[in-house]
Amino acid sequence: MTASTGVPVTTQAKANRTRTQDVWEVVTTFTTIDGDTTGAAAIPLNGLLQQIIIVVPDMADGEDTLDVSLTDNDDATVWAVTNLTQGATYAYSVYLPFSEEVNIVIAHDDPNTAVVMVVTLRGV
């Protein structure tokens, strides 16, 4: 994984097995570094993304928002959301096929302290 906002920690697990498909979950944790406002993580992924969950923590200065986008292995933006406010969890239903990898890209205001942002991807 690569990152400019700290080193993201990614865990992958098969969450369940249905009759015909494996259900998987990828959890990526970004920890901010003071003065840095972007981050990225490359996740190896072959499958259909069905749900995106984003946890935005309370940030120290109270004015911070978060932008999150997903890019494919050609760096084309295939999904994006902007101005997520702090102290909330957001869930999105999507239908996005990926082959090889997906890149999670985040942009945020400088929170002036270390905070943890979590992006969870679920699919089959």
Domains of the chain from N-terminus onward: 9-123 (2.60.120.380)
Give the pTM: 0.82
Q: Is residue 92 predicted with pLDDT exceeding 90?
A: yes
H-type helices in 2-43, by residue range? none
Specify the 3-state DSSP secondary structure of 74.
coil
pLDDT in tens, 2-37: 344 555 666 666 555 555 668 899 999 988 777 778
9 Cβ neighbours under 8 A, 6+ residues apart: 28, 29
Dist CA 48 CA 107 (whole Å): 24
pLDDT in tens, 68-86: 999 988 889 999 999 998 8
Whether 79 contacts 90, CB under 8 Å: no
pLDDT over 90 percentage in the chain: 41
